[in-house]
Structure 1
Amino acid sequence: MSLNAVAHLNFHGEAREALEFYQSVFGGQLTVVTYADFGMPAELPGATHVVFGQVVAGNGFRVMAYDVPGQDAPAAPAAPGTRRENGMTITNEPFFLSVRGESVEEVTPVWAGLAKGATVIEEFGPAQWAPAFGMLADRFGVTWIVDVATEYAQA
């Protein structure tokens, strides 16, 4: 038996847009099922929102998302609750998503894609512990770490 932990992101009316964005960055197949697909009358508010969505890519990337019922998207995403200060990460967020590759060349396009419309917390580049590291909050407010695996950080 094998287990996989998959991030399941909660949105407020923007799950489809987020999943399409992640597919544009990571590639793979997009699946979106709406509340209407599960029988909600199409004329009701929220019927086109995502009840189940995912992106699955051949490179190992996988993320799931849905729209929390009855809640509209905020007018603007909240400012990231994370900052880098004196080489330390200070945060009030319960989790980050990490994308780790084997080389700088492998993860650089991922960083470039996620950085579109993002708030950069730590610029992508060489770090004391890795050939490349960067942290950002994407345009949906999700905080990502993008780095290169090292001998002591193999996953």
Structure 2
Amino acid sequence: MTSTREDRITMSINTVAHLNFHGQARAALEFYHSVFGGQITVTTYGDFGMPAELPGATKVVFGQVLADNGFRLMAYDVPGQDVPLAQGEGAPTTRRENGVTLTEEPFFLSVRGETVEEVGALWEQLAEGATVVEAYAPAQWAPAFGMLTDRFGITWILDVAAEYVQA
């Protein structure tokens, strides 16, 4: 069966961030669940049949947080040796210098809400144990904006949707 252009346009597609950890997936999923709410699913390699006595059987092979407000995130533990977070090479590099954001990271996660209060509450929770790159405050392009690298090494952008006026 061939699909037409019209079929592809009407299909529903979602993009969901899938984070790769080295032994921290369960803790990260539990933290994000505490911040965003919703349902958490954690399935281990052992749940998929790895013998319990093998190293790694309790690590996450599939995990996700799904919240009613639209937040979606997936994560798992890459097989192999655990790697400490945010130490030495591979540590988050995002920083502000001379009024610009500099980074070597390949992506940021972005969370956008409708009110300063709604997003501010999420900011306060994500900021626990985080490195603040840019404080949550009014910005030229949004009622509020902030950037931080959380305790798991993930850099987040949180902002409030600006009301755009079309000409």
User: Is TM more than 0.5 here?
Assistant: yes
Once superposed, which parts of structure 1, at least 4 consecutive aligned residues long, lie more than 3 Å away? Answer: none
1:68 paired with 2:78, answer yes
Q: 2:134 and 2:31 mapped to 1: Cα distance?
A: 21
> In structure 1, how many angstroms separate the alpha carbons of the residues matched to 2:117 and 2:136?
12
TM-score, with normalisation over the residues of structure 1? 0.94
Question: Which residue matches 2:120?
Answer: 108
| Aligned with residue 133 of structure 2, among 121, 125, 130 | 121
What stretches of structure 1 of length at least 5 have no aligned partner?
Answer: none
How many residues align? The count is 151
What are structure 2's unaligned runs of at least 5 residues? Answer: 1-10
Question: 1:45 aligned to 45, 52, 55, which one?
Answer: 55
Q: Give the fraction of aligned pairs with identical amino acids, expressed as a percent.
A: 77
Give the Å deviation of 1:89.
Answer: 1.2
Compute the RMSD of aligned alpha carbons.
1.0
Tell me the distance in 2 between the aligned counterparts of 1:3 and 1:113: 29
| CA distance in structure 1 between the partners assigned to 2:137 and 2:111 by the alignment | 14
- SS state of the match for residue 110, structure 1? helix
TM superposition shift of 1:150: 1.1
Q: Over residues 84-132 of structure 1, what are the superposed CA-to-partner deviations in whole Å (9 max), with x where a residue is unaligned? A: 2233211100000000001101101100010000000001111111110
Aligned equivalents of 2:92 and 2:59: distance in 1?
A: 25
Instruction: Return the match for 1:5 from 4, 15, 18.
Output: 15
Larger of the two Rg values belongs to structure: 2
Residue 152 of structure 2 is matched in structure 1 by: 140
TM-score (normalizing by structure 2): 0.88
Deviations 1:37-88 (A, max 9, x none): 00000010000000000000000001000000012131x4234211122332
Alignment partner of 1:17 out of 7, 27, 36? 27
